[in-house]
Amino acid sequence: MMGSVLSVYLMLLKRIISTIRYGNKMTNASYDNPFSLLHAVNLLSQQSRINKFSKAIDEVVTTDSIVFDIGTGTGILAFLAAKAGAESVIGIDVSKQNIDYARRASKANELDDRVKFIHVHFDDFNPEIKADIVICEMLSSMLLVEQQIPAMRRVNDSLLGNNGTTIPKSTTVYVVPVQSEYMWNRFQTGDLRFPKMPQSVGGLNEVDDLADMQTLFHVEYRDLNTDFHVSEKLSFEIITDGFVHGIVGMFEAELTPEVLLRPEDGWKHLFVPIKQEKRVRKGEIITIQIEYTPGEFDSISVAIES
């Protein structure tokens, strides 16, 4: 009796351990949350995004190219690389459901002889050969939420050949101070208050720019070999009276010198609230301190210097 109880306990313990997240990395689980797959499939509707990646892939892929697609999702970019003539393509993803779906799509499109999908986190991906081209589309506004920069650092360390190239090649992040009663009041329901967090902005009519947009940082992915942390002070001249509720961030990514990816190709902007709203006047100069580690959602700090 004691042995059977112990075995059941050990089985449950193993199941619990299998679902624990370690940072942004998840071990194999018996059942994945379907959000990742549903999100990935939704991206298939974003034709502007896909068309730009297709153009960039066609520019750089040759018949002897070895291509890795990091964070492959449905496998769409891996398939485009194969159709562009790549010799071999490997797509990886931390979501088992994504990988299962991509494999089904690969068979449906008769590409499974040239495209292989592996369920693995990019930190644990150790291929026998290095890639000529690495595609990695884990872009998010301000590069805050998704793992674009950590993944690209891993690419440079271990996955890309010396003369290899990445898609995208670089990303520039921009920010602007904004007023938004709509976003500011989102965190209060009746007499209940909630801690403020970054939120996607559904439309620019939900926020009012209080200054001209500025560059927060620019990153060239082939030069990314060390830990990357954003710590910047930007000064803005206020263009209209109002209240600063936070900043809005967005990005542009250079896929190739000929192809530029912009937020309107499929991304929402990101609203990051400050702790307390600040009244400002036209012509006033304010300085905003912005700090975060890309890929670590809860690391961001935005403050107006007094």
**Do 130 and 207 fall into the same domain?**
no
pLDDT at 213 over 70: yes
- Please tell me the distance from the alpha carbon of residue 305 to that of residue 180, in angstroms, as a whole number: 20
**Do 192 and 133 fall into the same domain?**
no
Residue 8 burial class via C-beta count within 10 angstroms: exposed 0-12, middle 13-18, buried 19 and up: exposed
**Do 194 and 256 fall into the same domain?**
yes
Residue 20 lies in a domain: no
Measured CA distances, 74 to 16, 44, 87, 209 (Å): 28, 8, 20, 36
Total length of the chain: 306
Residue 156 lies in a domain: no
Residue 275 lies in a domain: yes
**Do 130 and 225 fall into the same domain?**
no
The top-scoring range by mean pLDDT among 8-12, 14-18, 235-239, 263-267 is 235-239
User: What's the whole-model pTM score?
Assistant: 0.86
CATH number of the domain residue 88 falls in: 3.40.50.150
Write out the two tokens for 141.
Answer: 């506004």
Neighbour count for residue 272 (Cβ, 10 Å)? 24
Q: Which is nearest to 159 in space by CA: 130, 196, 125, 201?
A: 130
Mean pLDDT, rounded, for 201-209 = 82
Q: Grade residue 135 by pLDDT with cuts at 50, 70 and 90.
A: very high
Mean pLDDT, rounded, for 277-287 = 97
Residue 220 lies in a domain: yes
Write out the two tokens for 69.
Answer: 């697609």
**Do 131 and 182 fall into the same domain?**
no
Residue 159 lies in a domain: no
Amino acid letter, 91: G
**Do 233 and 114 fall into the same domain?**
no
**Do 224 and 296 fall into the same domain?**
yes
Asked whether the beta carbons of 269 and 213 are under 8 A apart, the reply is: no
* Cα R_g (the chain), whole angstroms: 22
**Do 216 and 130 fall into the same domain?**
no
**Do 216 and 94 fall into the same domain?**
no
CATH number of the domain residue 227 falls in: 2.70.160.11
Parent domain of 212:
171-304
Residue 256 lies in a domain: yes
Q: How much is the pLDDT for 226?
A: 84
Task: State the distance between the two ends of the chain, measured CA to CA, in whole angstroms.
Answer: 68
Residue 7 lies in a domain: no
Mean pLDDT, rounded, for 81-85 = 97
**Do 225 and 294 fall into the same domain?**
yes
- Please tell me the distance from the alpha carbon of residue 82 to that of residue 57, in angstroms, as a whole number: 10
Greater confidence (292 vs 14) lies with: 292
pLDDT at 223 over 90: yes
Strand order in the sheet with 115-119: 115-119, 88-93, 66-70, 131-136, 160-167
The count of domains in the chain is 2
Q: Which of 115, 137, 159 is the last residue of a domain?
A: 137
Q: Which of 137, 154, 179 is the last residue of a domain?
A: 137
Residue 17 lies in a domain: no
Mean pLDDT, rounded, for 67-81 = 98
pLDDT at 277 over 70: yes
